[in-house]
Homo-oligomer: A and B are copies of this chain.
Amino acid sequence: MNVQQRATLEDVARLAGVSSKTVSRVFTHRDLVAPETVDRVLAAAKRLRFRPNPLARNLRRGGPTDTIGFIMGELNNPFYYKLAAGIERELSAHGFSLVVATTDDTPEGEERVADALLGQRLGALLLIPVADDQSYLEGERHLGTPIIAIDRPARNLVADSIVLENHRGVFEATTRLLERGHRRIGYICNPASVYTQAERLRGYRDALAAYGIRDSSPWERLADDLARPADGLISDLLDRADPPTAIITGNNRVTIDALRALRDRDDDGRTALIGFDDFDTADVLGVSVITYDPLALGKAAATLAIERMQDPAGFTRQLEMPTWIVERGTGERPPAERTTA
């Protein structure tokens, strides 16, 4: 394959018999150029397969590029990729392109990856904070790069953020179970020590407290080992002498693990279940969930970034996206009577 040279403005100019500046104008302020000149230049450009070099353009113009970075835990997760899809859709509609980088959900990964991305003179940086501290981004923010935290607020960093109504979603789900007569309601999550889960857990506890249940700890099973499925936590909870009549799960992975555990135990639909996060086959399985619109979340985050680029000086904003409950069966089960006394 004989690689040929890429044509430059100069080449096009020579072929069209004009100056390079005129060619430049054709590709930027076309209305300043006489129509027939435009035609001649475009013909020449097409013949030479000319494509303006955005590197040179951006360098010359100074300022940020049209590229926006998104740092996520891992693409391999329904929540993240739908979020990414929402972001991508909105950004591309506004002419920005999206660079994604993943951190494997580790704090070290986050800073490394952020550094690599920021090298590229991003127009803005979107991220799902994982580390305990995003102060390392302060320098870049100070240089004018808008930074948007998604799903969790950034810590030690002034940044816009957009999160879910975690507390409200779980509070309402728990309340519904309580209203249906459930009193022994389990809560399972893994990981537990992240912002979102802390909020959800708070929603669960607050709802119970409103019904006079002050100590929910016997019904909580919290873990922080992503590598291990949550089956064990669920079994442990169900093995109690007074097993819960309902379970709330903190995210879709745990929900699916719970379904697996319930199936393995031949629970036969006795235990009510409401999971946080929707998932593809939840309707087939009849699983009630606390859901939200990840595409909308991504879209809102992208919008926030675009607005911030246009108005870097404005006050930062903290947005919340709604969550709601979808009833599909498992969440509407009444409390099972105790089979043994």
A residues near B (Cβ < 8 Å) are: 1, 3-4, 6, 49, 51-56, 58-59, 65, 67, 74-76, 78, 81-82, 84-85, 88-89, 92, 97-102, 113, 116-121, 139, 142-144, 256, 259-260, 263, 279-281, 283-285, 295, 312-313
**Which residue from B65, B117, B260, B313 sits with its C-beta under 8 Å from A283?**
B260
Contact residues in B for A102 (Cβ distance below 8 Å): 85, 88-89, 92
22 contacts between A and B (CB under 8 A): A1-B142, A1-B144, A3-B144, A3-B312, A49-B139, A51-B119, A53-B59, A53-B121, A56-B59, A67-B120, A74-B85, A75-B84, A76-B85, A92-B113, A97-B99, A97-B101, A97-B116, A97-B117, A256-B281, A260-B284, A281-B284, A281-B285
**Is there an interface contact between B3 and A143, defined as CB atoms closer than 8 Å?**
yes
**Is there an interface contact between B51 and A55, defined as CB atoms closer than 8 Å?**
no
Contact residues in B for A53 (Cβ distance below 8 Å): 59, 121
**Is there an interface contact between B67 and A118, defined as CB atoms closer than 8 Å?**
no
In the complex, residue of chain B having the shortest beta-carbon distance to the beta carbon of A116: B97
Known contacts A92-B113, A101-B97; decide if A281 and B259 are in contact (CB<8 Å): yes
**Is there an interface contact between A284 and B312, defined as CB atoms closer than 8 Å?**
no
Q: How far is the CA of A142 from the CA of B67 in the complex (A)?
A: 26
Count chain B CB atoms within 10 A of each CB in A55, A142, A263, A283 and give the residue with the most: A55
Question: How many copies of this chain are found per oligomer?
Answer: 2
**Is there an interface contact between A76 and B67, defined as CB atoms closer than 8 Å?**
no
Contact residues in B for A88 (Cβ distance below 8 Å): 75, 100-102
Q: How far is the CA of A193 from the CA of B144 in the complex (A)?
A: 48
Contact residues in B for A97 (Cβ distance below 8 Å): 99, 101, 116-117, 120
Known contacts A89-B102, A99-B97; decide if A256 and B284 are in contact (CB<8 Å): yes
Contact residues in B for A56 (Cβ distance below 8 Å): 59
The 7 closest A-B pairs by CB, nearest first: A75-B85, A81-B81, A3-B144, A76-B85, A281-B281, A55-B59, A49-B139
**Is there an interface contact between A280 and B121, defined as CB atoms closer than 8 Å?**
no
Known contacts A1-B312, A56-B59, A284-B260; decide if A99 and B101 are in contact (CB<8 Å): no
**Which residue from B6, B256, B284 sits with its C-beta under 8 Å from A263?**
B284
**Is there an interface contact between A284 and B313, defined as CB atoms closer than 8 Å?**
no
Contact residues in B for A49 (Cβ distance below 8 Å): 139, 142-143
Q: How far is the CA of A58 from the CA of B120 in the complex (A)?
A: 11
- Within the complex, what minimum Cβ distance (angstroms) separates A166 from chain B? 22
Contact residues in B for A144 (Cβ distance below 8 Å): 1, 3
**Which residue from B99, B113, B119 sits with its C-beta under 8 Å from A52?**
B119
In the complex, residue of chain B having the shortest beta-carbon distance to the beta carbon of A49: B139
**Is there an interface contact between A51 and B118, defined as CB atoms closer than 8 Å?**
yes
Contact residues in B for A118 (Cβ distance below 8 Å): 51
Q: How far is the CA of A97 from the CA of B115 in the complex (A)?
A: 12
Beyond contacts A52-B119, A97-B117, A281-B285: 16 other A-B pairs, Cβ-Cβ < 8 A, are A1-B312, A53-B59, A53-B121, A54-B120, A56-B59, A59-B59, A67-B99, A76-B82, A78-B78, A81-B84, A88-B102, A259-B281, A260-B284, A280-B281, A281-B284, A284-B285
- Within the complex, what minimum Cβ distance (angstroms) separates A303 from chain B? 17
